[in-house]
Amino acid sequence: MNKFLISIAVVAMSILGACTGEDSHKQKQSQSHTTAEQLPIKLGSSLGDETRSNTATNLINGDTIWVWADMVNGATQEVTEYFKAWALRANGVGGLSTLAAGNTKLFPATNVLNFYSIVGNFGLETEGERIGLPMVDAENMELPVTGIRHTVLDDQTTAENYYKSDLLYAVVKNQEPISQAVVLPFKHLLARIQVVLVAGNGMTALELEGATVKLLNLKRQVTFMPEKEADFSSQSALAGMLSFPAGAAQGDILMATNTVSSASEATVANSTVYADAIVAPQTIAKGANFIKVSYLGRDTYYRIPNGATDDPLTIESGKQYRFRLVADRVGSGHLFDAVTVETWGANTSKALWLDNLIEQ
């Protein structure tokens, strides 16, 4: 069992020298579209405060980032391809470097660039001439507007598998040549599920640390179709970039069980244990068992409400869904309910105890 300790940290990325925003990400730019010489393109990343997990505030050291660029003619506004599938590697604190030594790219002497970048668990080709080769063909692949397969892993108890399951997309438009790093503002295209485990009557948090938490019978593969004009504020636009491929992998997802290191982040019931996992957006039918928690030799389930006025659970792109289990030893009682649903981003609540279901 891995434990991801929650810490409250603000990572200053002074090396990037750029500002970021939630819905609009405009880099600090020069006043002219023309430079005396072609400047090297430097890129960085941002992801918002502690959004990949409660410990990670950015891309993880070693993450592979794929970047495409189009050039916009300042006189005619004609858009042409500038480069394809540039492979970069994250350093864990917002910096990006080339994967291949010497593979530096330059801004055009005139005009501006549009950047498009993806991060995901894309794997290998399963058919065609490139079967068995990486799905992204470095320097050759067009931006995969017809779709690229991303796989959510079924065991997310390790940090590596949890982060691999994330699917991220960033767009920067009309970027003029600058000497500092252009920051790519990545957004989550999948969703995060958290299950807070609360020690009830006769239970201790230590006993709950040994719990096993699973999400049941979920689709784990999506076809991602990056949209160059993506509106990240529109749920329908986000959903439109994702679909399920034929024969998509499906099954249970084993969640990571974590502990809270900061007392200020514990619940009012002194809960310091929670589980989380990244999932593909999908709809869970009424009456279906959705979450299974196993502890002290017993299995407890959260079932989607099945009343006449209830609706299926629709898991949406870019959202976080939090559930809680209050487990009692005496009488084997428990309370298992939905607590919050909110946007998964920089303003996502960190406190684990929220008493009312809140829609954003």
Q: Label residue 345 by pLDDT band (50, 70, 90).
A: low
115-143 tens-digit pLDDT: 999 999 998 888 888 889 999 999 999 99
Q: Reply yes or no on whether the pLDDT at 35 is more than 80.
A: no
Give start-end residues of each CATH 2.60.40.2630 domain in the chain: 191-343
Q: Reply yes or no on whether the pLDDT at 21 is more than 70.
A: no
The pLDDT value given to residue 353: 39
Report whether CATH 2.60.40.2630 matches the domain 191-343: yes
Q: How far apart are CA 38 and CA 105, in angstroms?
A: 10
Looking up tokens 């410990």, which residue turns up?
Answer: 55
Q: Reply yes or no on whether the pLDDT at 108 is more than 80.
A: yes
Closest to 41 measured CA to CA, from 60, 67, 20: 67
- Mean pLDDT within 49-61: 63
Q: Reply yes or no on whether the pLDDT at 336 is more than 50.
A: yes
DSSP state of 95: B
Q: Reply yes or no on whether the pLDDT at 322 is more than 70.
A: yes
In CATH, the number for domain 43-188 is 2.60.40
Cβ–Cβ < 8 Å for 88, 65: yes
Closest to 65 measured CA to CA, from 163, 153, 133, 206: 163
> Which stretches does DSSP call E strand in 134-255?
148-151, 168-175, 182-185, 187-188, 191-199, 212-219, 221-224, 242-243, 250-254
196-210 tens-digit pLDDT: 888 888 888 888 888
- Mean pLDDT within 254-282: 74
Q: Reply yes or no on whether the pLDDT at 341 is more than 90.
A: no
Q: Reply yes or no on whether the pLDDT at 27 is more than 90.
A: no
> Which stretches does DSSP call E strand in 230-318?
242-243, 250-254, 256-259, 273-279, 282-284, 289-295, 298-303, 313-315
Looking up tokens 């329908």, which residue turns up?
Answer: 236
Higher pLDDT among residues 107 and 54, named by residue? 107
The radius of gyration of the chain's CA atoms, rounded to the nearest angstrom, is 22
